A and B are shown apart, each in its own frame.
Chain A
């Protein structure tokens, strides 16, 4: 499976500021996804990061709040904009099991733990 890294691993931010989270994969993957995991909760899909086009957002998530970039098949960024304490969560990127074709199985990065004061 692909090796996935995320930066930063954690951060503490002031409300009103923005944070960009990076996700790097050691091999080319078709699909990359961004999830949010609020404290004590399960994972909720934010959006699918599409290479070369705009991300596809799930209901309840908008581009202005969570802009996403995917410049190539190994890298993506998620920005959490104009943060409030309610944005305090773990943000996770995931990838499909690569090989140039979309599959059902996803592998996750280690996550970015964000605390907004």
Chain B
């Protein structure tokens, strides 16, 4: 089993601030997914990145896949209270997903 290290584990910021979440591994993934999970619900897919160096934008969220496909980052610009939730990265290997530990984000008004 390959590990996917996600950081930070907890993040509490004020509305309007920027933040970055990181996922790092020593292993190569065929793709990497980012999910957001709210209490009492299942994870909801935000994005899948496949190509090394790929950058995808989803409104105020920017996702990047490392050149070597071993790491990824999620950057949120001007965070809003509605961004509060658990953010999960998951790398794909052999058709299975390996999840990072998750980042619990709290955005305060």
Assess A104 versus B41: contact at CB under 8 Å? Given A42-B100, A42-B102, A59-B1: no
The one of A94, A104, A109, A111 that contacts B48, using a Cβ cutoff of 8 Å: A104
A48 within 8 A of B: yes
Secondary structure dominating the interface of B: strand
Question: For residues 18 through 56 of chain B, which have their beta carbon under 8 Å from a beta carbon of chain A?
Answer: 30-31, 33, 35, 40-45, 48, 50
Known A31-B95, A105-B48; contact A43-B43, beta-carbon cutoff 8 A: yes
In this assembly, does B101 line the interface, its C-beta being within 8 Å of a C-beta of chain A? yes
Residues 81-117 of chain A: 1 if any B CB is under 8 Å from the residue's CB, otherwise 0? 0000000000010101000001011111111010000
In the assembled complex, B92 has its CB within 8 A of some CB on chain A:
yes
* Cα separation A42 to B90 with both chains bound (whole Å): 10
Task: Name the residue of chain B whose CB is nearest to the CB of A56.
Answer: B96
Q: Identify the B interface with A (CB < 8 A).
A: 1, 6, 30-31, 33, 35, 40-45, 48, 50, 88, 90, 92, 95-97, 99-102
